[in-house]
Amino acid sequence: MKNALDTYLKPVRESYNTRVRRLGKVGIVIAFILICLALSLITPRFLTVSNLMIVVTQVSINALLAFGVTFVIITGGIDLSLGSMVAVTGVVAATFAHPDTYPVAVPILAGLASGLLFGAFNGFVITRSKVPPFIVTLGTMTIGRGLALILSKGRPISNLSDSFNFIGGGQLLGVPMPIIILILLFIVCAVILNKTVLGRYMYAVGGNEQAAKASGIRLSTVKMAVYTMSGGLAALAGIVLTSRITTGQPNAGAGFELDAIAAAIIGGTSTSGGTGTMTGTLIGALLIGVISNGLDLLNVSSYYQQVVMGIIIIGAVVLDSVNQPKN
Amino acid sequence: MKRSSLTVFSLTLSFVALVTACNQSTTSETSQKGDGKKLVIGATMLSMQNEFIVNVHDEIAKKAGEAGVELITVDAERSALKQVEQVESFIAQKVDAIIMNPCEVEASSPAVTKALAAKIPIINVNSETSVKPSAFVGSDDVESARIAMKFIADKLGGKGNVVMIHGYMGQAAQIKREQGAREILKQYPNLKLIAHQTGEWDRAKAMSLMENWIQSYGSDINAVFAHNDEMGLGAVKALTDAGLKNKVVVVSIDAIPDGLQAVQKGTLDATVFQNAEQQGAKAIETAVKIANGQPYEKEVLIPFQLVTKANVAQFMK
């Protein structure tokens, strides 16, 4: 059994490696550098330390969500409930984050727990039923939004403690906290994907579910894991967002799932599963952030911003398919 | 086996959801209409995810309870199509009056036409439709923006650079608030609008937008006008983080509790109070009057009030 598994996983690993090389050769990295270059030529305001700090801080929330959905998409799934999970976890965290009530660990852990639970519920329904993840998470997206409204009674929860607001608004050695959280989680997610058995199983499940099953991988365990992790990362995004705007908003995060999925796809994660990297996703998220920041600096109307973003998403996928070796 | 247990589970869940949902309608046993039948009023609200709308509705529900009216509330979830369908269902239920908080000027209009055709009085609250309803209760959004921009002009002595954060582009409130702001800007040629962009009514989006503007205009910005308090507070946060708040005037509209608190703290310079309670109260009052065949006003305009640190206390509950 072990041997069969190894011989199956080997080609998966290799195609992943060739992919990374290809990624370095063309595609997203070059596009990203070119756009940054162009922006710094057009406006002197772009390439400043303070502006770049702001871009990365703004990107952090989308990037956290994108990391989670990258795991999910690699296994061939999808998670549409991300935005709603941001709202639920943010509201839960805010509920426990009033000053002089609980230590700051309580809102963080409560938010995180609610996200993990929500994600696990997604995984549970997806693995126990034959309903596609698209439908299940479409359902839980609505459920989540409703829960956020129920928990907050439809009103923003404000008056949060300073220590809680530090998570999204504070700085450590001059670096905004969201950036530190982003870097830490990027490392954690990249290690999970590249260095652990679970990571390899994710590629295997997404590459060929039947083959993965035949080689002894427990599909339900892998899927439970990715949806739960996606929930956990959404919770972190929710906590950072809530802390950044210093209120728990039941309508926060609407549409965030689309930005996160876009970041993963721009970063080279294939929606058919089996391929994708954390680095690619991070660059995808940065690219979206840089474009939105750059267009704001240039005072371009948001109507055009949306058009530009759409073109980039399609362009990234076209670029990817052109680079795909023909079989 | 697994499948059947899941089915049972989901069925139970939907049942629980249904029971909870049914609890929404407010009923009261006390007073009754002249002929002994209790008044039934249907209300369709733009979005129960919006704090202001929730406040309008809470007052409607409270006053309905006091008047012994049975109130059926539905949430149109910002969809005009859904709203029209909801009004159709009110008509089918033969309610005595309908209160509609329209989603859109044009797209919600068929609901008014249908209600009037069925001889059921319909009262628009908070925003308008192109077809005239039996009565309108609300405030003129253009006026709120005039008040806000006038405040900025006075604060800056009629001279300076202003940025404007729009609501969701194309919505009635956004269009009117922009119109009002531009009317005042025209009167002050030295007051320049250097940038304007949508923040989609969202605090986080407005905060990011403001951060980006601070990067590109820095201390050239003298004032911010945000179309609602949520976005105004986002701008305040970005300015505070950048250490610029003391130099920039920020004004927004709605006077939500968070906004009032910020005005009291002095971080938000002013907000414009749109009286949700009055709108709700007058809406249900008018609906009951029409349903009982009593005389009523066709248009009830609730005035806006500028809220600054000087008078904020009287608006805080």
Q: Within chain B, where are the H helices?
A: 2-22, 51-67, 80-92, 109-117, 141-155, 172-187, 203-217, 229-241, 257-265, 276-291
Residue with structure tokens 């059926």?
B72
pLDDT band of residue B15 (cuts 50, 70, 90) is low
Q: In chain A, what percentage of residues exceed pLDDT 70?
A: 89
Q: Per-residue pLDDT averaged across A120-126, rounded?
A: 96
CA–CA gap between residue A223 and residue A209 (Å, rounded): 11
ipTM value, please give it.
Answer: 0.75
- Dihedral pair phi/psi, residue B101, rounded to 5°: -105, 95
The count of residues in chain A is 327
Residue B12 clears pLDDT 80, i.e. is over it: no
Token pair of A100 as six digits: 């002089």
The residue among B166, B194, B211 with the most chain A CBs within 10 A of its CB, best to mutate, is: B211
pLDDT band of residue B107 (cuts 50, 70, 90) is confident
Cβ(A226)–Cβ(A77) below 8 Å: yes
Residue among B204, B212, B233 whose CB faces A297 most closely: B212
Using CA atoms in the order A30, A31, A34, A35, what is the torsion angle rounded to 10 degrees?
Answer: -150
Residues of chain B in contact with residue A296, where contact means CB-CB under 8 angstroms, are 197, 209, 212-213, 216
pLDDT band of residue A57 (cuts 50, 70, 90) is very high
The shortest C-alpha distance from A147 to chain B (Å) reads 11
Q: Within chain A, where are the H helices?
A: 2-25, 27-42, 49-74, 82-95, 105-128, 133-152, 162-169, 177-195, 197-207, 209-214, 219-245, 256-266, 278-297, 302-323
For residue A321, count other CB atoms closer than 10 A to its CB.
9
Q: Per-residue pLDDT averaged across A24-47, rounded?
A: 81
| In chain B, domain spans | 40-139+276-302, 141-273
B216 touches chain A (CB under 8 A): yes
Token pair of A302 as six digits: 């948001």
Q: Do the first three CATH levels of B40-139+276-302 and B141-273 match, i.e. the same topology?
A: yes
* Range 67-126 of B in CB contact (< 8 A) with A: none
What pLDDT, on a 0 to 100 scale, did the predictor assign at position A24? Answer: 44
pLDDT band of residue A316 (cuts 50, 70, 90) is confident
pLDDT band of residue A313 (cuts 50, 70, 90) is confident
Token pair of A59 as six digits: 């990107």
Cβ(A302)–Cβ(B198) below 8 Å: yes
What pLDDT, on a 0 to 100 scale, did the predictor assign at position B43? Answer: 95
The shortest C-alpha distance from B7 to chain A (Å) reads 10
B193 touches chain A (CB under 8 A): no
Q: Tell me the per-residue pLDDT of B58-96, one tens digit each, with 9 for 90 and over.
A: 999 999 999 999 999 999 988 888 899 899 999 988 999
What pLDDT, on a 0 to 100 scale, did the predictor assign at position B1? Answer: 41
Residues of chain A in contact with residue B2, where contact means CB-CB under 8 angstroms, are 128
Where is A172: in which H helix or E strand?
Answer: strand A171-172
Q: In chain B, what percentage of residues exceed pLDDT 90?
A: 68
CA–CA gap between residue B277 and residue B290 (Å, rounded): 20
CATH code for the domain defined by B40-139+276-302: 3.40.50.2300
DSSP state of B14: H
Q: Is B99 helix (H, G, I), strand (E, B) or coil?
A: strand
pTM value?
A: 0.78
CA–CA gap between residue B32 and residue B102 (Å, rounded): 28
| Interchain proximity B204–A241, CB inside 8 Å | yes
pLDDT band of residue A320 (cuts 50, 70, 90) is low
Task: Provide the β-strand partners of residue A47.
Answer: none
| Interchain proximity A301–B216, CB inside 8 Å | no
CATH code for the domain defined by B141-273: 3.40.50.2300
Q: Tell me the per-residue pLDDT of B155-190, one tens digit each, with 9 for 90 and over.
A: 999 999 999 999 988 777 899 999 999 999 999 999
A64-99 in b/e form (b: 16+ CB < 10 A) is bbbbbbbbbbbbbbbbbbbbbbbbbbbbbbbbbbee
Q: Tell me the per-residue pLDDT of A130-170, one tens digit each, with 9 for 90 and over.
A: 899 999 999 999 999 999 999 998 888 988 999 999 999 88
Residue A72, C-beta contacts closer than 8 angstroms, at least 6 positions apart? A78, A79, A133, A226, A227, A230
In 3D space, the residue among A100, A115, A24, A134 whose CA is nearest the CA of residue A68 turns out to be A115
Cβ(A85)–Cβ(A277) below 8 Å: no
The count of residues in chain B is 317
In 3D space, the residue among A41, A182, A167 whose CA is nearest the CA of residue A93 turns out to be A167
Q: Is A75 helix (H, G, I), strand (E, B) or coil?
A: coil
* Smallest CA–CA distance from B210 into chain A, residue: A296
